A and B are shown apart, each in its own frame.
Chain A
């Protein structure tokens, strides 16, 4: 297929497709019939708690693990029948950094370039380019064991991009990173999409999936319990909530009146009953973060002092709670 033809099809075709993946480890059914679909040029967020089966699914798609049953296709190629052809088109950054500690940043990336059949010269050029881009140029000549956790993560991510892969798998790429580094990583993911790749990433945070993904698959105990757009998912599990805790409990009813100003259509402010809310807090579902621009001055004007004020997406617990009460489980995606 020519590049031109592929880009024409690119609007609609699926670049990852899995059906009925099953994998058992002893007594644990790590994958219990997982279906996945990712459109070309998009980010698919696979959201689930520890032990949900995210890593197992990624390892199957990245040709590292044979499932007990099921079918998987990456870039239009059967993963089980033609793993070697799939490997030419993917980049993988596993959950745990797999950089070689004794090798320098450059040596790590050049080795991968050579294994991808680049000439040594091209491999060196590509390594320098990536190190520069990931702000590792200064550390390029040092063994990776001297790198900080964040630097290792970046090198690990760079390693999966050496071959300019069509499909990139990132297994919990931001777990353990501080918020600023997390945003940097999000920038990298977005830039890969602009450069024409497709990204499948796993995460334990709805915030992250919401910020990056075009579609979200929620998985728990080896099963897909929802596949939806971020907006569709938030409609079902509850979207953004603005939460405020007045310093003076006597002002709660005044605070409710202020929050009502920014309530999303059809909602009103109420005393907060969500799991994890501190007593005396009030909250209101809002459309987006512009609500803060209204609420902060309004609270000040009304003379209401607050101890706590913030925007929250539902936690993973709340997502599951909402989804398991919510039928039908599978949203229709067209």
Chain B
């Protein structure tokens, strides 16, 4: 006589509650799947890349050819050498705005309701979207360095420092964009995300050594430049691309990046959880 046995472990309730490969592996897998979704959206709508391609190029042209001569006593080339590392930092800060806008639109459209009804970690949709933004930040770097080279910009240090500058810039973009994610969770419309982020980024980029040396500024503004997170970033990237002190500003930049993550990741996640 044969006995038909059902293995109780294969049908137990506990079994289906355990994510494949453990909770952490599952979270990584889910974030990757969701990052892939964002990448597909980026590829399908190339016009959404204007802010990381055309926009920095226009800034580069505008400042070099309109203000460059006046700002550096007629020496446009030396102004370009000064400006490009700074503009790179500003463009990365601006590059994160679209992320907050897209997430806001996804939530408004109800796309995220589906993700919320699935057994994935709360953070996975946000982490996935942020991870996919690497592509956009890399695009900013490639476009600016490529177009800058055509305009006459030259890296004065070497290949490895230039790679380090790009890596740091992207890393900063990934930290800074969490502010935009947070704002995207808080405000009603995606248009408002842009408004709020411009209000934040314009003072940060103009009150910094992006466009002019800060010793030309009045004292109170110099004080602001001093505590501005963009300042050490600009100084580091400048040092890595055209020479100058790196170590000091680098540590400050890394500290700022850590600080941004520690503050804004939890804020964004909490705002996301509350927005039902």
Which residues of A are interface residues toward B (Cβ below 8 A)? 1-4, 59, 62-66, 84-85, 87-92, 94, 96-100, 102-103, 107, 111-112, 114-117, 143, 159
Contacts and interface: CB of A to CB of B under 8 A. Distances in A.
B40 A102 contact: yes
Given A88-B16, A111-B33, A159 B114 contact: yes
Interface in B1-43: 6, 8, 11-13, 16-17, 19-20, 26, 29-30, 33-34, 36-37, 40-41
A100 B37 contact: yes
Closest 10 A-B residue pairs measured CB to CB?
A87-B119, A98-B110, A114-B33, A92-B117, A102-B41, A3-B11, A102-B44, A117-B20, A115-B118, A88-B119
A107 B116 CA distance: 18
A64 B16 CA distance: 21
Contacts of A117: 19-20, 26, 29, 119
Nearest to A84: B119
Nearest to B109: A98
B118 A64 contact: no
A63 B111 CA distance: 15
A87 B118 contact: yes
A111 B32 CA distance: 10
Contacts of A99: 111
B115 interface: yes
A4 B37 CA distance: 39
Nearest to A107: B40
B156 interface: no
Interface residues on B, range: 20 to 34
Given A3-B6, A4-B6, A143-B44, A98 B114 contact: yes
Contacts of B11: 2-3
Given A64-B116, A92-B117, A107-B40, A100 B6 contact: no
B3 to A, nearest CB: 14
Contact of B17 (A3, A88, A91, A98): A88
Given A94-B110, A115-B120, A117-B20, A66 B276 contact: yes
15 contacts: A1-B13, A2-B11, A2-B12, A63-B116, A63-B117, A65-B276, A84-B119, A85-B119, A87-B118, A102-B41, A107-B40, A115-B33, A116-B118, A117-B26, A117-B119
A92 B111 contact: no
Best-buried of B13, B29, B117 by chain A (most CB within 10 Å): B117
Contacts of A1: 12-13
Contacts of A85: 17, 119
